[in-house]
Every structure is written in structure tokens, then in C-alpha cells.
Amino acid sequence: MKRAIIISGKASLNQEIKSMLPLVNYQVLATTDNGMEALRLAHRFEPDLIIMGWNLRGLCSSEVLQNLIVQHLCPIIVVLTQDENHFLSEVINEDAHQVILYPLRIYEMVAAIQLAEHRFLRESENTQRIKRLEEELKTRKLIFQAMLYLIQERGFTEKAAYAALRTQAMSTRKSIRVVAQDVLKGLWLPERVE
């Protein structure tokens, strides 16, 4: 069973959510109406879902939502009452994974949870893809810098500089990135072959 935290000061809302969550295979780990406590609980339990209202104590709701979104721990669903509907644009701007309006309906809750999980999964995949691309870009930059050093300082041709890096990487069983770093640090320099 997946784990959820409810952050809301409305007892009736909390009770409704608690009764609906088992239907979508979630159990409630904790509930709180305090913003600071909510952040502590999120780190302590590392839940699979956070459902929050907009009437928190201790820390304003927008700050709590902002912190939770930046930390990217799990999907976050915000429940707004009819009195709080003017906060909708703020919630959307903070990038909550889903918004539900109170009173709750079971099918809307199920759909909201599935959409929030899907959106969170896509964000995680995109973040990992971006990190891989950034690492690849750093590697290419290091290799280029090492090749440029060998060309300018040691008189290598471009083809010979890359071949020297690749040969050293294969013979030492290091990645070409590590060999390029060694060249830039002056730890290894190939002999120029005429």
C-alpha cells in the first residue's frame, strides 16, 4: 500500500480524504495543519503522495507548497474550498501536480491522484534526462578542452589528439573523460608521434 500525508486544518476534509484513499491503495501516515510540521513529516516519512489544503498554521500555504515542489519528493494535490478558489492561479503558478475543488467526489479524487502520479513521473523522467544530457555535455567539453590543449601546446593534429586520449583510456581502463581530466591537470601527457 502506498503512503500519503494530509496537510489541512479542516477536520471534515481530512476525514473525507482518509475514507477515500484506501480505494486507490493509499494509507494515511500522518495529518497536520502546521506548515513547518508538514515539511518535517514529508522528510521523515518520504510519502508517495501529499494532499494539502490551503488553511495552514505556522507557515503560509504557498510557502509550504513551494518548498514541497522544489524538493520534488512526491506528487502534490491541493484541495481548495469554494471560499479559496481565488488562490487557484497561485496554486497553478507554484506547479502543484493537481488541484481539486471541495466538496470531493470519489471519482474526481481517483482521477486527480492518477494524474498527479503521472505528471510527477514525467517530471522525474525529464529531470533525469536533463541530468544525463548535462553530464554528456560536460564530458564533451572536457574532451574538447584536452584535445585543444594537445593541439595548441603539444602540436598534435585533431585526429591524433583524440586518438591519444582514446588509446590511453582503453589501455588504462579509464573513461575518456577521466583521461581528459588527467591531461588538463597535467597528470598525463602523451608523447607526440611524428
pLDDT in tens, 117-144: 999 999 999 999 999 999 999 999 999 9
Cα–Cα distance for residue pair 94/91, rounded to 1 Å: 5
Residue owning grid cell 591537470? 185
Cα–Cα distance for residue pair 78/58, rounded to 1 Å: 18
- What are φ and ψ of residue 98, in 5° steps? -165, 155
Residue owning grid cell 502520479? 117
The answer to whether the beta carbons of residues 102 and 79 sit under 8 Å apart is: yes
Q: Mean of the pLDDT values across residues 32-56?
A: 92
Q: Is the pTM of this model over 0.85?
A: no
CA–CA–CA angle 30, 34, 39 (5° rounding) = 70
Cα–Cα distance for residue pair 33/176, rounded to 1 Å: 53
**93 to each of 10, 38, 42, how far by Cα in Å?**
24, 21, 21
The confidence band for 194, taking pLDDT boundaries of 50, 70 and 90, is low
> CATH number of the domain at 133-185, out of 3.40.50.800, 1.10.10.10, 1.10.760.10, 3.40.190.10?
1.10.10.10
What percent of the chain has a predicted confidence (pLDDT) above 90? 69
CATH classification code of 2-104: 3.40.50.2300
Query: Which cell goes with 61?
Result: 500555504
What percent of the chain has a predicted confidence (pLDDT) above 70? 98
Q: Tell me the three state secondary structure of residue 26.
A: strand
The answer to whether the beta carbons of residues 97 and 121 sit under 8 Å apart is: no
pLDDT in tens, 140-178: 999 999 999 999 998 999 999 999 999 999 999 999 999
Portions of the chain given CATH number 1.10.10.10: 133-185
CB half-sphere exposure, 184, CA atoms < 13 A: 15
pLDDT at 93: 87
pLDDT at 84: 85
Portions of the chain given CATH number 3.40.50.2300: 2-104
Type of residue found at 27: Q
The answer to whether the beta carbons of residues 119 and 97 sit under 8 Å apart is: yes
